[in-house]
Amino acid sequence: MIIFQKENEKLESIGGTFGESVMSLYFTTNKRTYGPYGQEEGTRFSLPTIKSYIVGFFGDCGDLLDSIGVFIQFHK
């Protein structure tokens, strides 16, 4: 679990690596980057936001994390 340590910290992007499953993840806020978590092997990916923040996640898993997606909220 990641607990944001800074006031007004907002999640702006996630990224990582994948192969047959998601191998590693990192999370970038407007204050800092958390991670990477897991093994940095495979193809890199990034889900940046533009004029929005990440407010939730969805995905699919079996024994491993197979996919991940995000819900975003646009800046007011």
- Average pLDDT rounded to a whole number, residues 13-42: 96
What is the rounded average pLDDT for all residues in the chain? 92
| CB burial readout 44-71, b (16+ within 10 A) else e | eeeeebeeebbeeeeeeeeeebeebebe
- Give this prediction's pTM: 0.85
Q: What is the pLDDT of residues 11-23, one digit of tens each?
A: 999 999 999 999 9
Res. 59: pLDDT tops 70: yes
